[in-house]
Amino acid sequence: MVLEASVDFSDISISPTPRVGGSRAFWVWKRGFDVVGALALLPIVLVCMVALVLLNPFLNPGAVFFSQVRMGRGCKPFTAYKFRSMRAAGQPARGTEEPLEHDRITRFGKFLRKTRIDELPQVFNVLRGEMSLIGPRPDYIHHARSYLRQIPEYRRRHDVRPGISGYSQVHLGYVIGTEATRDKTRGDLHYIQNAGFAMDLQLVLGTVRTVLTQSGA
């Protein structure tokens, strides 16, 4: 997701000590909202899955699903699921400073990404308790381990469940590289420290707006 930044991340104040905001009631509500929201999205996921089984042989040959190990809560690895939008890689995965391999994205895959349909299978991760609907976006495990070594605050963004959408994704967009990830981390820590009903609602609405307007890449 690439959006025009609506927040100056350099102005975000981050507490020097680890702190997770939000009341106990909020975090109980948040998990309940995740489960209800994921169950509500499940029929859409199943319809899309059937459609892709029929369309992929003609528009996007290959497997329907794509899985990747990412870093989750407590820096523990988990397998995240997506609808495949790229051709299989014939070489090792790209490094943290290398650009996204746009040449591997199929024409139909661009549509899946633009509409965010490719992210829908992550509702299964939400139901399994590995992800939330709203939270810091999980990074590819090998990239995340590199960021842990280079960005002191990066570990703290894993104090909560990662999300399908989140504060940095809505306000900053898709980022590549260590320096951009520093900004992303500041945004994620701002969310974690100020978590609450109002912020989650704001991010849900921001995500819906992004999907409806098909903003970004």
Q: Identify the band that residue 2 occupies on the pLDDT scale cut at 50, 70 and 90.
A: very low
Lowest mean pLDDT among 15-29, 108-122, 191-205: 15-29
Q: In this structure, how many other beta carbons lie within 10 angstroms of the beta carbon of residue 138? A: 27
| Cα 71–chain centre separation | 11
Tokens (6 digits) for 78:
């988990």
Model pLDDT for residues 63-90, shown as the tens digit of each residue: 999 999 999 999 999 999 999 999 877 5
- The CA distance from 39 to 57, in Å, is 28
Contact 143, 92 (CB under 8 A): no
Q: What percent of the chain has pLDDT over 90?
A: 71
Place 4 in a pLDDT band, splitting at 50, 70 and 90.
very low
Question: Looking at residue 100, what is its pLDDT?
Answer: 75
* The pLDDT of residue 213: 78
